[in-house]
Structure 1
């Protein structure tokens, strides 16, 4: 239970399809769990959840032990620094944002948005965004939500935070894309 757990593809599908045989507390735990905390920490955040709840999610293949979101690799950091940084606000709005989001696949957008929603927007707004992410049916819907998410970050934390999130998308995308 000290492990950090991540949703599996089966878990994401269960949330999207609203699998009926999952108890409410287990669904809530599945919805918010990500690699940012240990299983014990997540259990402390979800009222009524127990070790058995966590075990149920593991047994059904909805979550799996994994690592916390890793820092970009040295190769990704070098690749990011090799390209001159665009001027402020260049990535987080207009055609540059549209182009950036068009190059991102579902997995990369999902990972970055779910890992950054709570830190950037706070517990309640971040939770709502994670709910919206889980409702997305495909990359196109997720890209539309990503635009809205970036605007929310801009309003809540400012243009610099929105730009930093977009730069994180670039780094994540470069790290995930084979050279």
Structure 2
């Protein structure tokens, strides 16, 4: 005899899930649209450049950049090839391990991040931050951390780390 042990979603859980799934589908496209129009970058291009810009040396191993951006190596390689052609990054063999490759943000890449950041932040604020009350921002951060603990238990993506908040510069707007 077949028994269905599935714990189906309640009506409220289903509503929350469907709305959240819609955000997951619509937000990346909206961010891509803004960055493409204003900066000739995709959101993932920007994410790679900004991830490099946030490291003290502006250099990461390809494997580390892939981990921090949750990218497969083939996807990251295609994006890095494009960014390298535009002279935003360079790739060189790692001096410590010749099997590894270092990705470095160039001055042009730094300038691209600096020029792109205001429009991107404005769009993030318009689409997400300004739609929420301050206590909802805290709730979003806490909910996201809980979801990331299940989605990324190895804490490969930097946002999954419990230290992430402390690594961010204090803007004085908390």
TM-score between the two structures when normalised by the length of structure 2: 0.29
